[in-house]
Amino acid sequence: MQGTIQEKMTLNEKLHILSDAAKYDAACTSSGVDRRGDGTGMGNCSAAGICHSFSADGRCISLLKILFTNECIYDCKYCVNRSSNDVVRTSFTPEEVCTLTMEFYRRNYIEGLFLSSGILRSPDYTMELIYAALYRLRKVCNFQGYIHVKAIPGADPRLIQMTGYLADRMSVNVELPTAESLRLLAPHKSRKNILAPMRLVQNQINENKQEIRLYRNAPRFVPAGQSTQMIIGATPETDYQILHTAESLYKKFDLKRVFYSAFVPVNRDCALPVLKDNKPPLLREHRLYQADWLLRFYHFEADELLDENNPNFNVLLDPKCCWALNHLDLFPIEVNSADYMLLLRVPGIGCKSAGRIVKARKMGNLQFEDLKKMGVVLKRALYFITCGGKMMYPVRIEEDYIMRCLLNTKERLPEGADGMTYRQLSLFDDVNFGGVNGISNRFIYVQIRLQVFVQLCMMLGWKTGTAMQESA
Amino acid sequence: MKGKLQQQLFCQYKTVDENEGKAARLQRMIKKYLGNHAYRAVFYALLSDEPEKGTAVFRTIQEARRIPDSRKIMDHLGNPDVAEVFAMSRSVANEAHLYEEFIRFRELADGILFSEITPKSQVLVCIADHFADRFPLENWVIYDKTHKMFLLHRKQAEWALVTGTPLNRRTADRISESEKTYSELWKEFFESISISERENPVYQRTHLPLRYRNDMTEFSDQT
Ligand code: SF4
């Protein structure tokens, strides 16, 4: 059942529908390419990316994120736009996309355009429309800001290629972590079909690099690289499987980013899981991003962080702390002499601060106060480092003790995860409490047992005197 | 123009007569002996509103002369003054960066793009190149309400800083006919792009502190 197609609709209504339908795509960055304006148009790009606002869900708004159309001939079970949903359908025209992008950009609302789309008529037809919009934006409006565009699986490779010369980043979403899940939830898509355009873009990027080496002014193909996205929690994969998929995508397709999108149920469907309290698995998404960060910038491998026996991330501690607690034999390390790669592995020391340490220690011996100034989070790092052979406080290098201390240093977590009590944590269904990746977990168990006890009391109406009176 | 500005800045801590020659010489000296990296740190630190900025910078330069390789001075964070300069320059750079993100222009009746901001430090000079590169074909103005300074950019011309002229409120509030359309479209987008199941005002506030919002289209009540 296709929804009503509205021909006469104001731009405002269209924008409402087509941004609302695009918001589940997690990719928001405008990063990966540095480009100065050439003085003849509008816009430039900054490699670090620029956020322009933050929406009420705390996510960054960098690009005008819209669908070209929310019509779709496919029926992916997790998607609002699936053909079996009865929703109002509409499409932009290429002109409208350009006007919105240009006028928003002029006012410094956005960094550029993120253009995705449902499949209107056929993949080719849709890709052509997208190409037309981008062509107009680049060649007629002379827009030099950032463009992120979707390559539509199944579209003619030449169309994808032509579009890629107009865009900064391209992405094809793998959608779900395994081919099996994809078959279940997206019957019209296949892993093979999705990986084909990804490979195409990768090859073209490599070829383009050669061209640029030969002719400095050769047109650039997808200079900010490609990314992809997986939905987390709609299918039963473990964190280990998901992280493995991500790692191999990074390795095999030279992806710039893999985005993880906590499953938000927008459709009722027996093939989809029912989430507790309708809450997307945000903590899980958060842990995956942390681990992804460790893969990309801290030289970790997926197998170091998780394994078959401990296939899920710990709810209470971030992956880096878990790793360190599992490798206490390596610590403490001496900040004034340790290898950069080892510094990177210390909880509380980031890429920047590790770099600063290596530079600053050439000028003289570093003390704990110096580390603080360099951005080291001492309340985490202190268990793992020495300065001039001394630890900051006398500390027992012992798992249980350090873990308890680390748990007391409050980690910034996404809403829902933040104010969460141990009781709620113990009810988390996607988490295994076997241990902090193998760490003995007595402390946590005690906490949980206490909470369960309190919970039982509450259920039996023993909470307070007043509660009993009320029920009486 | 840029040279002039630096002169003013350096005169804030050097009690020498305002003299373009001296300032330019000092600027050259710092660049030559401490390198561009340290120069930038000093330059940014001096845009800060910290009352003690001058002393810290002065002592940092003294310290630089003391150490074997003066060009490495900014790595020398063990020294409290260097650390202070580093911290000030980082905080100015951060604020400037946030303004590159959060500045909102409105189109005035004569087609000029106008923005007003309330920064803690004098960020205009830090963000000028960014916007000049981004909007070369537009006439635009950014007004710093804290320091009562204008950053002006005329289409296809260099930018300039202007002080000593009051803001003409009436002109600044006379928006173009289509302005309302686009600011409303933007607000529409801003609302619809958020996922209600993920609502998180704490995150939103961490990344976008309240003090910036007064000057931002999507948080203003006027329609
Ligand atoms: S192809 Fe699938 S995911 Fe994409 S819009 Fe259509 S139904 Fe949604």
Position A267 scores a pLDDT of: 86
Close Cβ partners of B21 (under 8 Å, ≥ 6 residues apart): none
Question: What sign has the CA pseudo-torsion A257, A263, A266, A272?
Answer: positive
Residues B107 and B212 in one domain: yes
Residues A346 and A464 in one domain: no
Position B155 scores a pLDDT of: 92
Ligand 1 site, residue A150, Cβ cutoff 6 A: no
Residues B78 and B150 in one domain: no
Question: What sign has the CA pseudo-torsion B65, B69, B75, B79?
Answer: negative
Is the residue at B10 inside a domain?
Answer: no
Res. A288: pLDDT tops 50: yes
Residues B88 and B188 in one domain: no
Count of domains forming chain B: 2
pLDDT in tens, A191-219: 999 999 999 999 999 999 999 999 988 99
pLDDT in tens, A76-107: 999 999 999 999 999 999 999 999 999 999 99
* A chain contacts of residue B201, beta-carbon cutoff 8 Å: 56, 58
A12:B185 CB<8 A: yes
Res. A460: pLDDT tops 60: no
Q: Are strands A146-150 and A112-116 parallel, antiparallel or unpaired?
A: parallel
Instruction: Please give the residue range of the domain that contains residue A371.
Output: 322-408
Residues B117 and B84 in one domain: no
Separation between Cα atoms, residue A413 and residue A283, nearest integer Å: 7
Residues A222 and A153 in one domain: yes
Ligand 1 site, residue A76, Cβ cutoff 6 A: yes
Choice among A114-123, A448-457, B112-121 with the minimum mean pLDDT: A448-457
Categorize the per-residue pLDDT at A1 as very low, low, confident or very high, splitting at 50, 70 and 90.
very low
Res. A444: pLDDT tops 50: no
Residue whose C-alpha is closest to residue A98's, from A64, A62, A148: A64
Residues A102 and A12 in one domain: yes
In this complex, which of B105, B113, B195 lies closest to A57 when CB atoms are compared? Answer: B195
B110 touches chain A (CB under 8 A): no
Q: What is the pTM of this model?
A: 0.84
In this complex, which of B113, B115, B198 lies closest to A57 when CB atoms are compared? Answer: B198
Q: Are strands A146-150 and A226-232 parallel, antiparallel or unpaired?
A: unpaired
Count of domains forming chain A: 3
Q: Give mean pLDDT, residues A281-308.
A: 93
Position B19 scores a pLDDT of: 62
A259 φ/ψ angles, rounded to the nearest 5 degrees:
-100, 145
Residues B84 and B118 in one domain: no
Residues B139 and B203 in one domain: yes
Centre of ligand 1 to C-alpha A75, Å, is 6
Residues B78 and B139 in one domain: no
B105:A106 CB<8 A: yes
Position B161 scores a pLDDT of: 92
Separation between Cα atoms, residue B221 and residue B223, nearest integer Å: 6
Q: Which two tokens stand for residue B27?
A: 């600027």
Nearest CA in chain A to B213: A53
* B chain contacts of residue A360, beta-carbon cutoff 8 Å: 75-78
Choice among A222-226, A382-386, A448-452 with the minimum mean pLDDT: A448-452
Res. A425: pLDDT tops 60: no
Residues B215 and B145 in one domain: yes
CB A147 within 8 A of CB A134: yes
Q: Which is more confidently placed, A387 or B77?
A: A387
pLDDT in tens, A49-66: 999 999 998 899 999 999
Is the residue at B172 inside a domain?
Answer: yes
Q: Which two tokens stand for residue A153?
A: 């699986």
Position B2 scores a pLDDT of: 36
Tell me the count of A-B CB pairs closer than 8 A.
Answer: 166
Q: Which two tokens stand for residue A232?
A: 């987390």
Residues A68 and A143 in one domain: yes
Interface of B with A in 7-36 (CB under 8 A): none
In one-letter notation, the amino acid at residue B223 is: T
Is the residue at B5 inside a domain?
Answer: no
Is the residue at A237 inside a domain?
Answer: no
Is the residue at B15 inside a domain?
Answer: no
State the best of A88, A259, A335, A363 to mutate against chain B, taking most chain B CBs within 10 Å.
A363
Residues B65 and B160 in one domain: no
Is the residue at B13 inside a domain?
Answer: no
Residues A122 and A156 in one domain: yes
Of B97, B123, B146, which one is at a domain's C-terminal end?
B97
Distance from B186 to chain A by nearest Cα, in Å?
7
Residue whose C-alpha is closest to residue A177's, from A118, A283, A258: A258
* B chain contacts of residue A47, beta-carbon cutoff 8 Å: none
A362:B207 CB<8 A: no
Residues B123 and B74 in one domain: no
pLDDT in tens, A230-253: 999 999 999 999 999 999 999 999
Residues B189 and B86 in one domain: no
Question: Around A253, how many Cα atoms within 13 Å sit in the side-chain half-sphere?
Answer: 26
Q: E strands of A263-357, at which residues?
A: 333-334
Residues B163 and B185 in one domain: yes
Residues A404 and A450 in one domain: no
Across chain A, mean pLDDT equals 85
Is the residue at A157 inside a domain?
Answer: yes
Residue whose C-alpha is closest to residue A430's, from A323, A286, A331: A286
Res. B10: pLDDT tops 60: no
Position A422 scores a pLDDT of: 32
Position B89 scores a pLDDT of: 94
Q: Which is more confidently placed, A334 or A461?
A: A334
Separation between Cα atoms, residue A2 and residue A90, nearest integer Å: 11
* A chain contacts of residue B75, beta-carbon cutoff 8 Å: 356, 359-360, 362-363
Categorize the per-residue pLDDT at A410 as very low, low, confident or very high, splitting at 50, 70 and 90.
low
Categorize the per-residue pLDDT at A458 as very low, low, confident or very high, splitting at 50, 70 and 90.
very low
Q: Which is more confidently placed, B54 or A155?
A: A155
Residues A201 and A333 in one domain: no
Residues A361 and A450 in one domain: no
Is the residue at A261 inside a domain?
Answer: no
Separation between Cα atoms, residue A388 and residue A341, nearest integer Å: 19
Is the residue at A27 inside a domain?
Answer: yes
DSSP state of A138: I
Res. A6: pLDDT tops 90: no
Number of the ligand 1 atom closest to the C-alpha atom of A82: 7
Is the residue at B113 inside a domain?
Answer: yes
Q: Give mean pLDDT, residues A350-360.
A: 92
pLDDT in tens, B199-210: 888 889 989 999
Res. B223: pLDDT tops 70: no
Distance from A360 to chain B by nearest Cα, in Å?
5
Position A176 scores a pLDDT of: 94
In this complex, which of B100, B189, B195 lies closest to A50 when CB atoms are compared? Answer: B100
Choice among A16-30, A138-152, A302-316, A421-435 with the minimum mean pLDDT: A421-435
A360:B198 CB<8 A: no
State the ipTM, two decimals. Answer: 0.88
Residues A26 and A130 in one domain: yes
Is the residue at A346 inside a domain?
Answer: yes
Is the residue at B6 inside a domain?
Answer: no
% chain A with pLDDT above 90: 66
Is the residue at A336 inside a domain?
Answer: yes
Is the residue at B38 inside a domain?
Answer: yes
Res. A185: pLDDT tops 90: yes
Res. A430: pLDDT tops 60: no
B135:A418 CB<8 A: no
Number of the ligand 1 atom closest to the C-alpha atom of A80: 8
Instruction: Sort B40 into a burial class: Cβ within 10 Å, 0-12 / 13-18 / 19+.
Output: middle
Residues A452 and A352 in one domain: no
Radius of gyration of chain B (CA): 20
Q: Give mean pLDDT, residues A183-198.
A: 93
Q: Give mean pLDDT, residues A392-396.
A: 83
B75:A362 CB<8 A: yes
Residues A403 and A428 in one domain: no
B75:A58 CB<8 A: no
Instruction: Please give the residue range of the domain that contains residue B44.
Output: 20-97
Is the residue at A311 inside a domain?
Answer: no
Centre of ligand 1 to C-alpha B33, Å, is 60
CB B60 within 8 A of CB A344: no
Of B81, B97, B113, which one is at a domain's C-terminal end?
B97
Of B97, B122, B145, which one is at a domain's C-terminal end?
B97
Res. B13: pLDDT tops 50: no
* B chain contacts of residue A40, beta-carbon cutoff 8 Å: 136-137
Residue whose C-alpha is closest to residue B187's, from A56, A59, A118, A42: A56
Question: What sign has the CA pseudo-torsion A18, A20, A22, A27?
Answer: positive
In one-letter notation, the amino acid at residue A143 is: F
Is the residue at A33 inside a domain?
Answer: yes
Residues A161 and A23 in one domain: yes
